[in-house]
Amino acid sequence: MMIFKKAILAASLLAVATGMAHAEDKKTVAYIAPSLDIDYWQWVARGVQQKAEELGMEYVEYTSENSPAKQMDNARVAVTRGVDAIVIGPVSSTSTPPFLNYLEKEGIPVAFTGIGPQPGLTNYTSAVTANNYETGIAQGKFTCELAKERGGNKVGMLSLPQDRENAQKYLKGAEEAFADNGCELVQMLETKGLTINEAVTQANDLLTANPDVKAIYGMYDQAGTGAAKALETRGMTGQVAVTVADGSPTTIQLMKDGAIQGIFFQEAVGQGIDATEQVYKSLNGEETTQDMALLMPLVTADKIDSDEAKAVIARVFPQD
């Protein structure tokens, strides 16, 4: 009985929704996030939403809850609902082939953000991602320099889980940069829970095991916060340098306080904006760029209040 009622309700809502979409004849863009428990994917959402509004498009949002199956369901639901274009942060690269095959058949343009499609695929409109390898080189070089400024060459790293492709690329770049600049990576700890609390504990353990570390490379935002917190507790703020990738209000504030020396910003909002622009172009038959690997811009403490930095930050997280 209950299920029956729900079915009727769902059906009528769907009818109303599609009816409205047709009535106004506005194009709709759907954003499919892998999960919404990470700030990053919400910021991408804001970028998509912002750009869609600007372009006069309707915006809808789905969550895949880190499940490739749910991601596929979301694509089907979106198609049933009549969306015209999709911006997706995929659950993983490997989950993308069936997803893309289905949407290609339906003739819907797809743009990736954050994580790209499986290498070798071409049936998508655009992939707007961070260039993790190049960023790894840049952040590795910067971190190494900071260590040397502090009279050492040993660095530690708080890493994303190394089963992730982006983490492997970051690490490859960083290791090359360390080697080229004469630094030694003495310890790398991988996160499991991606929480600040875990990062604090790991930073503490890293510093206990390696008292001669002069700089910490934080591969994700919480790592930066955790390392800064651990150093603060030890009264060593500034004595060991901290660099971090991603960037958030928290880490920006820590940088202003001198607890973090540099942030390599992952332009979450910017990726959402760029991806939406690409699918919009595709809908209008304009030329699109298939691979946009954005280098993550570095902002240091002394430049945080510059206009240049403000422009970067505007493409990182929503300014409200």
Partner 1 sequence: MNSTSNTLDTNGTTDTRAKPPSVLSTYRTELAIAGAIIVIMLGVGAFVPAALSLGNFANIAQAAAPLVIMALGILLVIITGGIDLSVGSVFSLTGMVAASAMANGVDGFTASLIGLGVGVVFGAINGALVTLAGLAPFVVTLITYAVAGSLAFIVTNGRSVGVAAPNYWLFNSGSLVPGIANYVLFCIIFLICLEFVLRKVTFGRWFYAVGSSSTAAHLLGVPVKRTRFAAYVFSSTMASFAGLLTLSYILNAESTSGASLMLQAIAAVVIGGASLFGGTGSAVGAVLGALMITVIQNGVNLIGINSFWQGSVTGLAILVAVLIDRFSQK
Can you tell me the distance from the alpha carbon of 162 to that of 160, in angstroms, rounded to the nearest whole number?
A: 6
Closest to partner 1 by CB, 229 or 315:
229
The reply to whether 42 sits near partner 1 by the rule CB under 8 A is yes
Which 76-105 positions form the footprint of partner 1 (CB under 8 A)?
Answer: none
Name the packing angle between helices 196-209 and 221-233 (round to 10°). Answer: 60
Q: Is the dihedral of CA 220, 224, 225, 226 positive or negative?
A: positive
Contact code string over 182-221 relative to partner 1, x by CB under 8 A: -----x-xxxxxxxxxx-xxx-xxx-xx-x----------
Q: Minimum CB separation from partner 1 for residue 163, in Å?
A: 9
Using CB under 8 A, pick the residue from 80, 101, 233, 319 that binds partner 1: 233
Helices (H), 107-248: 132-149, 165-181, 196-209, 221-233
Closest to partner 1 by CB, 85 or 263:
263
Q: Is the dihedral of CA 114, 120, 126, 130 positive or negative?
A: positive
Closest to partner 1 by CB, 39 or 165:
39
The reply to whether 239 sits near partner 1 by the rule CB under 8 A is no
Can you tell me the distance from the alpha carbon of 202 to that of 145, in angstroms, rounded to the nearest whole number?
A: 23
Contact code string over 142-181 relative to partner 1, x by CB under 8 A: -------------------x--------------------
Report phi then psi at 262, rounded to 5.
Answer: -165, 145
Judged by CB under 8 A, the number of residues near partner 1 is 35
Q: Which two tokens stand for residue 281?
A: 């172009």
Closest to partner 1 by CB, 125 or 248:
248
Closest to partner 1 by CB, 33 or 87:
33
Closest to partner 1 by CB, 94 or 197:
197
Amino acid present at 96: T
Which letter does DSSP use for residue 280 in this model? H
List Cβ neighbours of 120 (8 Å cut-off, separation of 6 or more).
none
Using CB under 8 A, pick the residue from 149, 249, 303, 311 that binds partner 1: 249
Q: Minimum CB separation from partner 1 for residue 205, in Å?
A: 3
Residue corresponding to tokens 């690997």: 293
Amino acid present at 295: L
Q: Minimum CB separation from partner 1 for residue 172, in Å?
A: 17
Closest to partner 1 by CB, 104 or 198:
198
Q: Minimum CB separation from partner 1 for residue 282, in Å?
A: 30
Can you tell me the distance from the alpha carbon of 94 to that of 116, in angstroms, rounded to the nearest whole number?
A: 10
Closest to partner 1 by CB, 17 or 194:
194
Burial (CB count within 10 angstroms: exposed 0-12, middle 13-18, buried 19+), residue 49: buried
C-alpha angle 18-23-26 in degrees, rounded to nearest 5 = 85
Residues that bind partner 1 (CB under 8 A): 36-39, 42, 161, 187, 189-198, 200-202, 204-206, 208-209, 211, 222, 225, 229, 233-234, 248-250, 253
